[in-house]
Amino acid sequence: MKQTMLELNDSSCDNTMQIGIDEAGRGPLLGRVYAAACLLPQNSELLRYSDIKDSKKFSSRDKIKEVATNIKENAIAWSVHYEDEKTVDRINILQATYAAMYKCTHDMICKLKNKFSSVDYNSIILLIDGRYFTPTSHFIDGDIVSLSYKCIEKGDGKFMNIAAASILAKVARDDYVESLCVQFPLLDQIYRLRSNKGYGSKHHCEAIREHGISQFHRQTFGICRNKPITFFQCHSSHTTDLKDN
């Protein structure tokens, strides 16, 4: 069954620049939470609009990475940022998610200022996937910038800019998990991190009960609370920093 192509923009908003924002990794027991922001062009011969969908709808790892690359190459602007498990434990997962989103928003404003001779901030709206968001102001070149926003439940299945952000966030987090498995093979051997991506699968939870947690687990999350911590040693010189765009 052929999927219906998503709407690029929310027609109920008058704003001409609709920046989609989504997250990946709020629920796992381990590791970073990622956020991404994306602004797609109205018309591009190179952007494959029909491939852009909710990141959860992809079954092929190669395909979603291919689509993410196409988005990065042809978007007007995009950004990916994260907060690590220490921040999640310190300020809670919701606030850590917002913090990553704030970084993305600040980055997007700076990129748009660099790309265009002038930017009307009143023409920009953030389309946030989900029901809740707490906005913040951004200090940009001496100005305090506050952007409009709209929360859209299941927005990654409705609007293309949000779906594109969901793809970028998921690919970035999946790449991070893979880099952990390469650098710390025991994470995969003990917790099967490659397959569960840090989520609380049956095996992952059983392994935590038997072996405790690693330094990458979120110590304030459910089953991870008050468990003994094993500090895993890095077994690879391979390092990947996915913060930079």
Domain holding 153: CATH number?
A: 3.30.420.10
* Shared-domain flag, residues 113 and 209: no
* Shared-domain flag, residues 152 and 57: yes
Look at residues 147, 173, 199 and tell me which one is the last residue of a structural domain. Answer: 173
pLDDT confidence of 237, banded at 50, 70, 90?
A: low
Domain that holds residue 140: 17-173
Q: Is the pLDDT of residue 208 over 70?
A: yes
User: Is 39 part of any domain?
Assistant: yes
Condensed to tens digits (0 to 9), the pLDDT of residues 120-162 reads 999 999 999 999 999 999 999 888 999 999 999 999 999 999 9
Average pLDDT over residues 168-172: 99
Q: Is the pLDDT of residue 54 over 50?
A: yes
Q: Give the whole-number percent of the chain exceeding pLDDT 90.
A: 89
Give Cα 234 distance to the centre of its chain: 25
* Shared-domain flag, residues 77 and 131: yes
Q: What is the mean pLDDT of the chain?
A: 94
User: Is 204 part of any domain?
Assistant: yes
pLDDT confidence of 26, banded at 50, 70, 90?
A: very high
* Shared-domain flag, residues 110 and 201: no
Average pLDDT over residues 44-53: 97
* Inter-axis angle of helices 61-74 and 160-183, nearest 10: 120
Q: Give pLDDT, residue 33.
A: 99
pLDDT confidence of 242, banded at 50, 70, 90?
A: very low
User: Is 243 part of any domain?
Assistant: no
User: Is 2 part of any domain?
Assistant: no
Domain count, the chain: 2
Give Cα 82 distance to the centre of its chain: 7
- Beta pairing, strands 148-152 & 138-140: unpaired
* Shared-domain flag, residues 113 and 133: yes
Look at residues 151, 173, 195 and tell me which one is the last residue of a structural domain. Answer: 173
Q: Give pLDDT, residue 16.
A: 84
Is 121 within 8 Å of 15 (Cβ atoms)? no
Q: Give pLDDT, residue 235.
A: 81
Q: Is the pLDDT of residue 236 over 60?
A: no
User: Is 235 part of any domain?
Assistant: no
User: Is 61 part of any domain?
Assistant: yes
Q: Is the pLDDT of residue 99 over 70?
A: yes
* Shared-domain flag, residues 168 and 185: no
* Shared-domain flag, residues 205 and 220: yes
Type of residue found at 145: V
* Shared-domain flag, residues 27 and 82: yes
pLDDT confidence of 4, banded at 50, 70, 90?
A: confident
Q: Give pLDDT, residue 15.
A: 77
Average pLDDT over residues 200-216: 98
b/e for 155-191, b at 16 or more Cβ within 10 A?
A: bbbbbbbbbbbbbbbbbbbbebbbbbbbbbeebbebb
Q: Give pLDDT, residue 117.
A: 86
Q: Give pLDDT, residue 2.
A: 58
* Shared-domain flag, residues 125 and 183: no
Distance CA 212, CA 228 (A): 5
User: Is 240 part of any domain?
Assistant: no
pTM value is: 0.94
Average pLDDT over residues 99-112: 98
User: Is 123 part of any domain?
Assistant: yes
Q: Give the whole-number percent of the chain exceeding pLDDT 70.
A: 95
b/e for 33-42, b at 16 or more Cβ within 10 A?
A: bbbbbbbbee
* Shared-domain flag, residues 186 and 111: no
Type of residue found at 223: I
* Shared-domain flag, residues 22 and 53: yes
- Beta pairing, strands 213-214 & 229-230: parallel
* Shared-domain flag, residues 188 and 100: no
